[in-house]
Amino acid sequence: MILPSNIDPMGSAISDYHKNGKASKLWVHSDITDKHEIPVPYLFRTYNEMPNIEQVALNKCKGNILDIGAATGSHSLWLQEKGMSVTAIDISELAVETINNRGVKTTLAVDFFEFPPKQKFDTLLLLMNGIGIAGSINGLKEFFSKCKELLKTNGQILLDSSDLNYMFDDEDEKPMDKYYGEVRYVMNYRDIISDPFNWLFIDYSTLKTEAFKYAFQCEKISEGEHFDYLARLTMK
């Protein structure tokens, strides 16, 4: 399902910022921490403004690339400028309209899990904790199955995530009923409120174990400054 604009705070913020050069605050509410703001201009970052792990990821991209959850298309734009073949997809129609307007040639408003498997890619790129779209550890099954459908035999997945362990002082503060990186979010922008959704943050060791179950091998390529890392996954 594509996100209707009346429940799409992030897409609305992106669209406003692109059209007017400014936006109101984009808020994230979660069951794990106090509400915080996503600075909308950050979503429009240039290569030089990107964290190192994203720059490394971009330089590891090869062949036909699918930028999944592309938001404003910042990564796609850079890749396209380097002469690479990239398709940017997002579930937000407003985001995809912006990606188009910023000059990315191949875009599609689509849910990754419903992306038509007609074409296969050399690189699946998911940045800014892009693996979050799996929603939960259980959701990784569908995530990896879709990746398999879309990847060429020697293709790779490049993704980043963070270990949220640092948010808990004690083991017993962690939720009993779920993995501690499974977060429930609601976003809002002005009076536009999203439906609640699940977003997964996964530590590297759990990612590696899970990937193995679905016949992917996993290597850590780079570490960020705040318990975050970049991983590269390939089919076994």
- Classify each residue of 25-62 as buried b or exposed e, where b means 16 or more C-beta atoms within 10 Å of its C-beta: ebbbbeebeeeeebebeebbbeeeebbebbbbbbeebe
Q: Which of residues 129-158 bind ligand SAH (CB under 6 A)?
A: 130, 133
Q: Does 201 bind ligand SAH (CB under 6 A)?
A: no
Give the one residue of 23, 61, 71, 99 binding ligand SAH; rule: CB under 6 A: 71
Binding region for ligand SAH (CB under 6 A) out of 28-36, 76-84, 85-93, 188-196: 85-93
Closer to ligand SAH at the Cβ: 69 or 181? 69
Closer to ligand SAH at the Cβ: 16 or 90? 90
Closer to ligand SAH at the Cβ: 89 or 164? 89
**Nearby residues of 30 by Cβ (< 8 Å), 6 or more positions away:** 183, 184, 185, 186
Give the one residue of 127, 159, 218, 235 binding ligand SAH; rule: CB under 6 A: 127
Binding region for ligand SAH (CB under 6 A) out of 68-76, 100-108, 150-158, 165-173: 68-76
Give the one residue of 61, 89, 124, 140 binding ligand SAH; rule: CB under 6 A: 89
Closer to ligand SAH at the Cβ: 89 or 157? 89
Rounded to 5 degrees, what angle do the CA atoms 48, 22, 92 make?
A: 80
Closer to ligand SAH at the Cβ: 109 or 211? 109
Helix (H) or strand (E) holding 106, with range, is strand 106-109
Would you give the binding string for ligand SAH spanning residues 35-54, x where CB under 6 A is met? Answer: --------x-----------
Q: CB atoms < 10 A from the CB of 146, how many?
A: 19
Q: CB atoms < 10 A from the CB of 222, how many?
A: 18
Number of residues that bind ligand SAH (CB under 6 A): 19
d(CA 223, CA 54): 10
Q: Does 113 bind ligand SAH (CB under 6 A)?
A: yes
**Nearby residues of 86 by Cβ (< 8 Å), 6 or more positions away:** 61, 64, 65, 66, 67, 76, 79, 80, 104, 106
Cα atoms in the 13 Å half-sphere on the side-chain side of 64: 12
Q: Does 194 bind ligand SAH (CB under 6 A)?
A: no
d(CA 225, CA 206): 19
What are the residues binding ligand SAH (CB under 6 A)? 10, 43, 68-71, 74, 89-92, 95, 111-113, 127-128, 130, 133
